[in-house]
Amino acid sequence: MAKPIPTLPQPAEGVQAFGQALGEIWKSMSGLKLPADTMSQLQSSYLQQATALWNDTLTRLGQPQAEAAAPALRDRRFSSSEWANNPAAAYMAQTYLLNARTLMEMAEAVQGDAKTKARLRFAVQQWIDAASPSNCLPLNPDALRKAVDSQGESIAAGLRQLWNDVQQGHVSQTDESAFEVGRNVATSEGAVVFENELFQLLEYKPLTAKVYERPMLFVPPCINKFYILDLQPENSLIRYSVEQGHRTFVLSWRNPDASLADKTWDDYIEHGAIAAIRAVQDITGADAFDMLGFCVGGTILSTALAVLAARGEQAASSLTLLTTLLDFSDTGVLDLFVDEAAVALREYTLGPAAPTGPQLLKGQELATTFSFLRPNDLVWNYVVGNYLKGEAPPPFDLLYWNSDSTNLPGPMYCWYLRHTYLQDELKVPGKLTVCGEQVDLGAIEAPVYIYGSREDHIVPWTSAFQSLKLLQGPSRFVLGASGHIAGVINPPAKKKRSHWIGSTDPVPASAQDWFDAATEHPGSWWTDWAAWLAPHAGRQVAAPKSYGSRTHKVIEAAPGRYVKQKA
């Protein structure tokens, strides 16, 4: 995918793959039509606005310098005084924004089916964001002023940072040297008490004299590292769980290398989630206990529980699902990348029948794709700051985690892509066979707590809500403010954001019906979850004095070596 300068310093396979995906989107738009009368109206409106903008600029040029500044633009890319005080820069920014609005209006007016129109809007928005004059040094007055004031040092610093990012293979979003897993992120005290080739099981040190008799198992997503749940002590959901008196275990997925390239979805269910469940059962003696799945981890955990239910076992005393998809009929912006041709291409290049054998889906490719879902925030913002202005990004633990990418085995990824995102079969009882069992999510009897984030662009909250209709146990649905990560990682002490609680007995016909009757509460949803969870966790017993058991000895200290492996 061609980009205006400066070129993104991404690994070739990541940018190439994203470009190929965007290329497929463009191909699907052949034959789209824009109604002639709509085009005429857009042309007329554009000419009127462009003329007014030109005349306004000429008028300002004729005024004294103190009065010639253009009004500050709300767009943060052009909001500084350097843009407003420079007539050429102000005119260029305003013209760019006019062009951007007109292009998006044209995309909205194109005739076509809903998915094709959504793809067109996405592709046009990508081009618009990349073409911003703020992204180019000669056209960015902020960057030019900094170059003059620093006598060229900002340009030299930008080149050094560009070279560093080329070497590391991705745009720096934070000062990665400021963090180290186990030193100042993922620092909750614990030990590895089980491991196999796919994961390590971490047990955390109790922080209370007594704990609930039923332990808690966290299953995080395998597409990134578990320590998003344990960034810092003050915002760690893992630590919060321990502080509430839960004997907490966490599955830490291995970052796959070539030796694991042939692993399948069945492997991740049987030798991942189910193996972790068995280990917790062996260590604690609890046949059933509380479980939590986050994002893809929730999909994996739910599938594992359905497999166990098909074998006659109800292993969960409660199930918490955070921003999890079980019904894939609406997958938000990610649906743009999924159709039969795209999935077949992945299967041909990465799957078990690939000509060169099963391959890994590289973590940087996933990271690139997710970054381009919000390109101004996660790509161009850093291109401008890092390279054009020579400003080193400040330390930020969440962005360090975001850049700590993970690989996925091709066969596992391809199965997941086809049977969930493309064919939406997980929700259909008996449609899929996993680990030799027919999957029926309705066979899971555990009470369920489902959380969605209102501004989540990865798992739309209305889709998370649909899980209520698939799981038959007593349910509670809570909607948090903000997005996929910030909504989840919202500790009570911060007193930030809000959450909505509404009745799910019976389950409302639609997510909007639920929301219309829900009540907004200030602050974190964590306290509501803790209150809901406590009755399902059993009686209080003395906290264990050591990790693991006689058959599950300590292997190493938490967070373990698996989470430290780089993609």
Of 136, 222, 295, 414, which is the active-site residue? 295
Burial of 312 (0-12, 13-18, 19+ CB in 10 A): exposed
Element (H, E) at 319: strand 316-322
**Beta strand pairing call for 360-361 and 248-253:** unpaired
Cα gap 499→525, rounded to integer Å: 6
CA angle 532, 538, 540 (to 5 degrees): 110
Amino acid at 81: S
Cα gap 280→266, rounded to integer Å: 20
Sign of CA dihedral 107, 112, 116, 118: positive
- Is residue 491 classed as helix, strand or coil in its secondary structure? coil
Q: How many whole angstroms from its chain centre is CA 268?
A: 20
Put residue 346 in one of left, alpha, beta given phi > 0 → left and psi -120 to 50 → alpha: alpha
Would you state the structure tokens that stand for residue 460, as one six-digit string?
A: 């739309």
- Length of the chain, please? 567
Q: Which of 122, 133, 123, 61 is nearest to 97 (CA)?
A: 133
Cα gap 476→459, rounded to integer Å: 18
Would you state the structure tokens that stand for residue 19, as one six-digit string?
A: 């470009």
CA-CA distances (angstroms) from residue 343 to 292, 363, 421, 539?
Answer: 29, 18, 10, 48
Beta bridge partners of 26: none
The side-by-side arrangement of strands in the sheet containing 316-322 is: 519-522, 498-502, 475-480, 448-453, 316-322, 289-294, 216-219, 248-253, 199-204, 190-195, 556-557
Beta bridge partners of 291: 217, 319
Q: How many whole angstroms from its chain centre is CA 287?
A: 33
Q: Is there a contact between 441 and 326 (Cβ–Cβ < 8 Å)?
A: yes
- Is residue 399 classed as helix, strand or coil in its secondary structure? helix
- φ, ψ of residue 477 to 5 degrees: the values are -120, 130
Check if 136 is active-site: no
Beta bridge partners of 448: 319, 475
Cα gap 137→124, rounded to integer Å: 23
Helix ranges (H only) for 169-234 are: none
Q: Which of 432, 449, 448, 452 is nearest to 440 (CA)?
A: 432
Q: For 362-464, where are the E strands, in sequence order?
A: 408-409, 433-434, 437-438, 448-453
DSSP 8-state assignment for residue 244: T
Residue with tokens 């198992």: 217
Cα gap 314→305, rounded to integer Å: 7
Could you list the active site residues?
Answer: 295
